[in-house]
Structure 1
Amino acid sequence: MIPSDLTDLLSARIFVIESALGLIRQRQDVNTQGREVRGHLMDVLDLVRRDPGVDAAVDDLHRSVCAFIEAKPAESSVEARRLRLLDEAHTRFLDRLKAAGLRIPPVSGRDGLG
């Protein structure tokens, strides 16, 4: 696979992950969106060379999504903390992809940082 194809495939997966995370943050169709995130995270693992940091970041993001979905909406300060943890896991995921030497183009208007 040529590098531009890999970049395009990763960009598409990351875009879908970020779209699903946006809906999860708004608590819209969270179960379906959680499955979308999981499926696309598995696709990312299939696309990239084995890297323990990427593996850990994928697991971390998946666990954060699951924890956010399983938690009931709470008072605003608790919900804000949950959102922050979800966002931090997403940022670590992107950072680990970059650290693994993958070019992650901007997909949501924030310099590729979700």
Structure 2
Amino acid sequence: MPNYSAELDAVLRALADPTRRMVVERLAKSPAVVSDLLGLVAMTLPSLLQHLRILEDAGVITSSKQGRVRTVSLRPGALDVVRVWLGEQRTPAERQADRLGNHLTRITDKETSQ
């Protein structure tokens, strides 16, 4: 098992909740103020802050506070550990199909350019 297991577990645990996934989807577009995020979900501010804390503890988001305004943003590369793990789970047949597709594309491109 790779040494990133604890990080992967934390990220997957954080993303297991639909509310947190909705927050991540929103933050993928741009950073947001907590009050704006509150408008997306039907819950109290303390409940939302708890969800944000879980995402931050997992390393998925970062937050900064300026005065009374807290801004949250998606941490660049935070989901890479999931992408890598999923890539490792691909079956040999999927990899072979990908290679076959690439090969056929190259052949078609050669025939078209001649």
For the criterion TM > 0.5, the same-fold answer is no
Scaled by the length of structure 1, the TM-score of the pair is: 0.34
> Greater strand share, 1 or 2?
2
Normalising to structure 2: TM-score of the pair? 0.34
